[in-house]
Structure 1
Amino acid sequence: MSALPPEDFTPPYDPAGTGPRDPAAERRHETAPDALSGFTIGVTATRRREEFGALLERRGARVVSAPAIRLVPLAEDSGLLAATQATLSGPVDDVVVTTGVGFRGWMAAAEGWGLSADLGVHLSRARILTRGPKARGAVRAAGLDDHWTPATDSCLEVKQHLLAQDLRGRRIAVQLHGEPLTEFVGDLREAGAEVIEIPVYRWLPYRDIAPLRRLITQTISGAVDAVAFTSAPAVHAMLGAARAENLEEPLLAAFGGRVVAACVGPVTADPLTSRGVRTLQPERARLGALARALARHLPEHGVTRVVAGGHRLEIRGHAVVVDGELRPLPPAPMSVLKRLADKPGHVVSRAELRTVLPGSLARDSAEHAVEMAITRLRRALGAGGVVETVVKRGYRLACSHEAGL
C-alpha cells in the first residue's frame, strides 16, 4: 500500500473541515507547544534520539524511547577497512556519496588506519556524485570537488543519472549508510560496472532490547499513538524482535489500524510498505519535517470529537481535551472512555467494558472493576453529566456524535 499523504499534501488543521487551506495557520499549529499534547510516540532512533525526542516533547508529546539498533564503531569495522583497501587497489571512476555524516565517518576511519592521504588522492581523481546538499558539503569540506547533485536528494535520481551513461568497465564506489542499496548496486552491476560497496555505519541490534520489547507490546495494545522510524534497519530490528516473540503479525496489524508508522523517508518505510503497511512520511527526509508531519497528522486523524453533557470533548491517546483544557487519563478510564466513544450515546454493558480494561483490572469482578474505572473517569473529566449510568444496563456518553467538531 502507498504512504499516507506527505506533509505538504495533508489537509490543514481545520477540525470542522470547512475552512480554506491556510499554510501560515498550518505552520503555526505544527510548531505549537500543544500540537502533540495527549499523544504518546515511540522513538526507535539511536543516533540523534535525544534531538528528535526533544522536537516531539516541545510539541507536547509523551515520548517512549526504545533504541532498536546500535552502530558498529568505525575504527573496529573490518568490513569498512576491507572496502577501503579495495577502493585503493585500483583507479576509481565514480564515487557516490549518500550522506554527509557517512562520508565524514569514512574519512575519519581512514585517517585512523593511516590511509587518509592515499584515499584522498584516489577520490580526487574520480567523479564524485553526491545525493544531497549535506553530502556535497562534506565532500567540499574534505577539499574534494563534487561533480553532480540531484535536485531531489534521491538515490533513485543518482542511479538514473549513472545508468544514462555507458558504465561498462567503470569502477564505482558507493558509500552506504547503515543499510544496503541492493537494487541501486545491482542495477549498476547489471549495466557493466564494477561496484565497491562502502559500508559506513553498519548496524547491529541494540544491546538492551527490553525497551524495544515493551514498545512492541505497547504498540499492539494501542498504548502508543505512533512509532517513529529514522532508518530501515530500525524497522527490521523491531519486526525481528516481534517475530522472535511470535508478535510480528499483531504488530503489523496494529500499524494497519490506529497506530501510525511514521518514517523519515521511503527507504526507511520500505520494510513496512512491502508488507502492505501504510506509513506517514514527510515531504523531505528530515527529522524536523517528520516531527511536523506528526504534529499535523495526529491532531486531525488520531482524535475522536464529541459533545457530551454539553461539554466539548476531544479524545486523544492518553488524554482528553474538555472544553479546551487538557486532562490526562490513566489507562483504565481512558480505555473505558474510548469504548463509550466508539458509539456515542449507545449503552455499553459492564461486561463489555470489562473486556477493554488493562491488566489486573480485567481480572477483577466485572462490577467492581468497571465501577472503579467509571468513578476515576468521571473524577478525571471534572465535568459533570458526561458519562451517564443506565440502570441495569450499563453506561453511555450523554452525547451526539459530531465528527466535524
Structure 2
Amino acid sequence: MSGSLAGRRVMVPETRELEVLARMLERHGAEALRCPLVAIIDAPDPAPVEAWLRRFIATPPDDLILLTGEGLSRLQGVAQRAGIEEAFLAALRGVRRIVRGPKPQARLRAVGLGADLSAAEPTTAGVIETLKGQDLRGRRVGVQLYPDNPNDLLLDFLRGAGAEPDPVLPYAYASKEDDARVAAMLDAMEAGRVDLAVFTSTPQVRRLEQIAGPERLRAALGRTRIAAVGPVVAETLARAGAEVAVMPEESFHMKPMVNAILAALGEAGAETGT
C-alpha cells in the first residue's frame, strides 16, 4: 500500500473509536497495532448520578459545565434508565451550557442543542479563563467531572467566584487490554519497533505507567515518535517524559490529528473521511 505511512508501525491505544482511527491510518499505508488500553463504563454506583439528575430537573442550575462528550452521553443513559430523560433534556434546554471542547459541543448538537460558552482552549485552565469574564456570584453551577480528576482547580475557582458548584461523575474507566499484551507493546516500543504511538486520552498514558512504571515508560516513549490529539493529552505525555512530535494546531479531534501526522511525515493529501 502506498502513502506516507507505508511500512510504519503505529500503536493505537484508542478504545471507543479504535477501528475508526486504525482505518484512517491504514488508508495511508500504516500497520495499525491495536492495543485498546482503557474501557469506559457507567459509574459503578448509579444512585448519586440519578440523585444529581433529579436535582437538576427539580431545581435546574443556572449553568452546566460539560467537560467531556462522554459525560453527557452517560448522564443521558442514567436518565433514560430512570425514566427521566425527557425531563432532563427539557431542563438542559433552560440552563446556560458551557463546554470545554469540541466533544461535548458535538454531543449537545446530537440532542438539538448548542453551547452558550465554549472555552478558548479545551482545558480546565481554558474553562476558568473563559469564566473569569463572567459574574458568577450566587449562581448554581452543575459540573460534569470525569474519572481520575476531581478537578479541585475548577471547583475551587467557582467557589472563589461566589458560585455554588454541584459536581457529578457519571462514568468510570476500566482496564481493557490484558496486562501481558500491554507489556508486549511496551517491549516493542523500547526496542524501537514502533514508529509512532497515537494517544487520544490521558487515561491511556496512565494505564501504560501503571504497567511499566515511570522509568520504563519514559524509556519506551523516548524510543517512539509520539502524536497527541490535543494539549491536555500532550501535557500528560510530557509529564511522563515524552516529547510530543505531532499535535493538531486546532480542532482537537482524531481527523485533524491524522492530518497533522500526514503533514509531519510529508504527505500532502488530507484525511477527509469519517
TM-score by structure 1 length? 0.58
Aligned residues: 264
Instruction: Judge conservation of contact 1:41–1:226 (CA < 8 Å) in 2.
Output: yes
Pair 101,61 (structure 1): closer, same or farther in 2 beyond 3 Å: same
Q: Which of 191, 194, 215 does residue 224 from structure 1 map onto?
A: 194
In the alignment, does 2:203 pair up with 1:233? yes
Does residue 269 (structure 1) correspond to residue 234 (structure 2)? The answer is yes
Structure 2 residue 221 is matched with structure 1 residue 252: no
Residues 148-180 of structure 1 show CA distances to partners (whole Å, capped at 9, x for unaligned) of 335655554432222222323321112235553
**Which whole-Å CA distance do the structure 2 matches of 1:102 and 1:109 have between them?**
11
Give the letter for the 1:167 counterpart.
Answer: L
Residue 249 of structure 1: how far off its partner (Å)? 0.7
Question: Which residue does the alignment assign to 1:11?
Answer: none
Unaligned runs of 5+ in 2: 268-274
User: Which of residues 250, 253, 263 in structure 2 aligns to 1:296?
Assistant: 263
Higher relative contact order (CA 8 A, sep 6+): 2
CA 1:218–1:94: 2 relative to 1, 3 Å: same
Matches within 5 A, 1:29-40: 33-40=2-9
**Does structure 2 retain, via aligned residues, the 8 Å contact 1:74–1:109?**
no
Partner residue of 1:176 out of 136, 145, 151: 145
Once residues 154 and 25 of structure 2 are traced to their aligned partners in structure 1, the CA distance between those partners, rounded to angstroms, is 33
From 132, 135, 152, the counterpart of 1:163: 132
* Distance in 2, Cα, partners of 1:251 & 1:153: 26
The residue type equivalent to 1:125 in the other structure is: G
1:280-295 to 2 correspondences below 5 Å:
280-283=246-249, 284-295=251-262
- Give the whole-Å Cα distance in 1 for the aligned partners of 2:79 and 2:182: 34
Measured in 1, the distance between the counterparts of 2:220 and 2:260 equals 20
How far does residue 83 in structure 1 lie from its aligned partner after superposition?
3.8
Instruction: Tell me if structure 2 keeps the 8 A contact 1:163–1:188.
Output: no
Matching of residues 314-325 of structure 1 within 5 Å: none
Choose from 72, 79, 87 the match for 2:41.
72
Aligned mates of 1:207, 1:62 — CA distance in 2:
19
Q: In structure 2, how many angstroms separate the alpha carbons of the residues matched to 1:242 and 1:108? A: 35
User: How far apart, CA to CA, are the structure 2 residues paired with 1:146 and 1:64?
Assistant: 36
Q: 1:203 — aligned with what?
A: 173
CA distance in 1, matches of 2:50, 2:179: 29
Tell me the secondary structure at the aligned position of residue 172 of structure 1.
strand
Going from structure 1 to structure 2, the CA distance change for 1:276 and 1:209 (only over 3 Å counts) comes to closer
Give SS of 2:118's match.
Answer: coil
Distance 1:200 1:266, change over 3 A: farther
C-alpha displacement of 1:118: 3.6
Deviation at 1:252? 0.6
Find the structure with the greater CA-based Rg.
1
The 1-side partners of 2:33 and 2:201 are apart by 17
Which residue number corresponds to residue 375 of structure 1? none
Other structure's SS at 1:202 match: strand
Aligned counterpart, 1:193: 163
What SS does the aligned partner of 2:39 have?
Answer: strand
Root-mean-square deviation (CA, aligned residues, Å) is 2.9
**Residues 77/65 of structure 1: CA separation in 2 closer, same or farther (3 Å cut):** farther
In the alignment, the residues of structure 1 paired with residue 47 and residue 196 of structure 2 have an alpha-carbon distance, to the nearest angstrom, of 37
Q: TM-score when scaled to structure 2? A: 0.82
Give the match's secondary structure for 2:142. Answer: strand
Letter in 2 for 1:297: A
Structure 2 residue identity aligned to 1:34: G
Q: Does 1:215 align with 2:185?
A: yes
Unaligned runs of 5+ in 1: 1-31, 301-405
The aligned counterpart of 1:53 is 22
Change (3 A) 1:160 1:152: closer
CA–CA separation in structure 1 for the residues paired with 2:114 and 2:12: 37
